[in-house]
């Protein structure tokens, strides 16, 4: 298996919370209904994951943030589900699976996404 895409992103949680307060539509535009149930630190980590995924795919045209959903997995690593333009770009690149790592500590949320064949 080969790595075909790699992305990383870092988000300052306090600044992210300010964005949510200033732009209430951001939450609905970016996050799926299940993701919206999470607290600010977890949302910031998911925003970092979505940004990292976009970087791993080369920021495809027509990207919709809701075409990516980060799922919690009890006792395991988080999982990314893709659809729409994001799934199409992954297929175009030959990516058949994604790995994601999320972290939030000391006011910072981060994510790394790897796409492989």
pLDDT tens digits, residue range 8-32? 999 999 999 999 999 989 999 999 9
Please report the beta strands in 3-77, taking only residues with DSSP state E, as ranges in sequence order: 3-12, 68-71
Q: Which residues pair with 31 in a beta bridge?
A: none
- Look at the chain and report how many structural domains it folds into: 1
Q: Which residue has the tokens 């919206």?
A: 36
Pair 100, 77: CB distance under 8 Å: yes
- What confidence tens digit (pLDDT) does each residue in 76-114 have? 889 999 999 999 999 999 999 999 999 999 999 999 999
State which residues form the domain around 8. Answer: 3-116
CATH code, domain carrying 14: 3.90.470.20
- What confidence tens digit (pLDDT) does each residue in 59-82 have? 877 889 999 999 988 888 899 999
pLDDT of residue 59: 83
Angstrom distance (rounded) from CA 31 to CA 70? 9
């Amino acid at each position: 298996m080969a790595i075909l895409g790699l992305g990383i992103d870092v988000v300052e949680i306090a600044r992210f919370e300010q964005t949510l307060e200033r732009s209430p539509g951001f939450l609905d535009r970016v996050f799926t209904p299940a993701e919206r149930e999470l607290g600010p630190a977890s949302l910031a980590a998911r925003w970092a994951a979505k940004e990292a995924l976009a970087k791993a795919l080369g920021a495809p045209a027509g990207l919709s943030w809701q075409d990516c959903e980060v799922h919690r997995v009890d006792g395991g690593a988080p999982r990314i589900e893709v659809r729409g333009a994001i799934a199409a770009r992954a297929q175009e690149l030959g990516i058949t699976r994604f790995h994601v790592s999320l972290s939030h500590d000391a006011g910072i949320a981060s994510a790394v996404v790897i796409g492989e064949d």
